[in-house]
Amino acid sequence: MSATFGNNLKVTIFGESHSAGIGVVIDGLPAGLKIDEKKIAEAMKRRAPNRSVASTKRQEADIPEIVSGYFNGRATGTPLTALIRNTDTRSQDYERTVELLRPGHADYTGFVKYHGFNDYRGGGHFSGRLTAPIVFAGSIARQLLEQHHIHVSARIKQIADVMDPGPYSAAEMEETERKDFPVVDMDIGRKMQDKIREAHSKADSVGGVIECAISGLPAGLGDPFFDSVESTLAHIMFSIPAVKGLEFGDGFKIAGMRGSEANDTPILKNGTVSFASNHSGGIGGGITNGMPVLFRVAVRPTASIAQEQKTVNIRTMEEASLRIHGRHDACIVPRAVEAVKCAASLAAADLWLEVNHD
Ligand SMILES: Cc1cc2nc3c(=O)[nH]c(=O)nc-3n(C[C@H](O)[C@H](O)[C@H](O)COP(=O)(O)O)c2cc1C
Ligand SMILES: C=C(O[C@@H]1CC(C(=O)O)=C[C@@H](OP(=O)(O)O)[C@H]1O)C(=O)O
């Protein structure tokens, strides 16, 4: 199924941005798993629209209604389903884009794949709004991981050309999670916010990079080929709308390094094998090596910008021009941090459940 992820923890998302609602079915949660609804609500809030600088003004409560698989604060072990209502749609903003393809968005590909029957309103099933059910499911997966001392954190590393290089300690990352703008160094964060405001004032948008770390994963998870740790994370990271790049450890930079610089030296630490560095991002041959799994995703500048753009009218098959009206994020990155963290939690839980069954 196109909307299902996972081998051991299966997650199916559904819905469209402007339909009655969106949601998720999670199959494979260990029976008896303690679920803290407050933690879910906090994660939903960190991703919600109308929260960050120059973000969409759409107002959604994003309170998930759990309709199955949950009883007395614990997972029952049968499919857990949650519904999230869409309450602040403004579909008239999309009257023109039913035929005028938005450059950079999924209007053309959606039209071709679904023969014009796709719900185009608000991007339909392609919308970034579908990261709300991913965050719901991922925040439960994250609780499962935390109960086994595995921690997932993420931060803004770059917005436009402004960088917050890091690296940072676990404590600094934890502190960052509580911020409205999840960057570690707030002096750099203010420069990033200025870039977003400046682009927005020019009817334009900016992108950026999110860095994510999964620490505490035992060595030995994953597979050499098609279910490698990289493949599993890539599978779900590229399911987040607007993610266009992904690199692990030293990433593309490793291509220019010498073997002597890139190799992670095995060392003994408290009687077990560890590594003196982490250029490979905690993965060897597709399998975790016990070091933090470290990766970065590149997020494109928001497609829907308010300046006039050239396009094609898909009904008349004529070239046309388009000015998009509506409530869009001038930068997707701040809200996508939670989506990356929760998607990483789903991937890590899926890998972990391969060898641990409760
Ligand atoms: C949290 C989040 C919010 C988004 N907000 C917008 C938005 O306001 N306007 C927009 O054009 N795209 C937005 N996007 C991105 C589009 O949904 C995405 O670019 C589109 O579906 C095409 O997919 P692609 O960029 O992966 O090819 C958002 C994505 C996420 C994850
Ligand atoms: C609603 C959310 O984000 C939406 C993602 C989105 C897109 O094209 O991806 C476009 C906008 O939709 P609308 O025009 O309906 O306001 C955003 O508001 C959300 O994240 O919950």
Of residues 257 and 178, more confidence is placed in: 257
- Average pLDDT score over residue span 293-300: 98
pLDDT tens across 56-99, in order?
A: 999 999 999 999 999 999 999 999 999 999 999 999 999 999 99
CA of 242 to the centre of ligand 1 (A): 5
Given a cut of 70, is residue 189 above it in pLDDT? yes
* Closest ligand 1 atom to Cα of 324: 11
- As for the ipTM of the complex, it is 0.99
Question: Does the beta carbon of 128 sit less than 6 angstroms from any atom of ligand 2?
Answer: yes
Handedness of CA 308, 309, 313, 317 (dihedral sign): positive
Question: Does the beta carbon of 125 sit less than 6 angstroms from any atom of ligand 1?
Answer: no
- Average pLDDT score over residue span 228-234: 98
CA of 246 to the centre of ligand 2 (A): 23
Domains and CATH numbers, the chain: 4-355 (3.60.150.10)
- Average pLDDT score over residue span 275-300: 98
**Residue list, annotated binding site for NADP(+):** 47
Q: What is the pLDDT of residue 214?
A: 97
Question: Does the beta carbon of 60 sit less than 6 angstroms from any atom of ligand 2?
Answer: yes
Q: How confident is the model at residue 196 (pLDDT cuts 50, 70, 90)?
A: very high
The residue whose CA has the least distance to atom 12 of ligand 2 is 122
- Average pLDDT score over residue span 164-193: 93
Virtual torsion, Cα 290, 345, 213, 332, nearest 10 deg: 160
Residue with tokens 């309709």: 67
Contact 69, 29 (CB under 8 A): yes
* Closest ligand 1 atom to Cα of 328: 8
The one-letter code for the residue type at 212 is: C
Q: What is the pLDDT of residue 314?
A: 97
Q: How confident is the model at residue 1 (pLDDT cuts 50, 70, 90)?
A: low
Question: Does the beta carbon of 182 sit less than 6 angstroms from any atom of ligand 2?
Answer: no
Q: What is the pLDDT of residue 167?
A: 87
What are the angstrom distances between the C-alpha of 340 and each of 42, 70, 111, 251, 349? 15, 25, 27, 17, 14
Given a cut of 90, is residue 356 above it in pLDDT? no
Question: Does the beta carbon of 49 sit less than 6 angstroms from any atom of ligand 1?
Answer: no
Question: Does the beta carbon of 16 sit less than 6 angstroms from any atom of ligand 2?
Answer: no
Given a cut of 80, is residue 241 above it in pLDDT? yes
Q: What is the pLDDT of residue 114?
A: 97
pLDDT tens across 90-141, in order?
A: 999 999 999 999 999 999 999 999 999 999 999 999 999 999 999 999 999 9
Mean pLDDT lowest among 175-184, 259-268, 282-291: 175-184
Q: How confident is the model at residue 51 (pLDDT cuts 50, 70, 90)?
A: confident
Ligand nearest to the CA of 126: 1
Average pLDDT, the chain: 96
Q: pLDDT exceeding 70 applies to what percent of the chain?
A: 99
CA of 122 to the centre of ligand 2 (A): 6
Ligand nearest to the CA of 110: 1
Query: What's the gap between Cα 293 and its chain centre?
Result: 16
Q: How confident is the model at residue 358 (pLDDT cuts 50, 70, 90)?
A: low
The residue whose CA has the least distance to atom 7 of ligand 2 is 127
Given a cut of 70, is residue 217 above it in pLDDT? yes
User: Using CA atoms, how far apart are residues 246 and 83, in angstroms rounded to an integer?
Assistant: 30
**Residue list, annotated binding site for FMN:** 125-127, 285, 327
Q: Is the preceding omega at residue 167 within 30 degrees of 0, hence cis? A: yes
Q: Can you give the chain as a three-state secondary structure string?
A: CCCEECCCCEEEEEECCCCCEEEEEEECCCCCCECCHHHHHHHHHHHCCCCCCCCCCCCCCCCCEEEECEECCEECCCCEEEEEECCCCCHHHHCCCCCECCCCCCHHHHHHHCCCCCCCHHHHHHCHHHHHHHHHHHHHHHHHHHCCCCEEEEEEEEECCEECCCCCCHHHHHHHHCCCCCCCCHHHHHHHHHHHHHHHHCCCCCCEEEEEEEECCCCCCECCCCCCHHHHHHHHHCCCCCEEEEEECCHHHHHHCCHHHHCCCEEEECCEEEECCCCCCCEECCEECCCCEEEEEEECCCCCCCCCEEEEECCCCEEEEECCCCCCCCCCHHHHHHHHHHHHHHHHHHHHHHHCCC
Nearest to 14 by CA among 154, 124, 153, 155: 124
The one-letter code for the residue type at 45 is: K
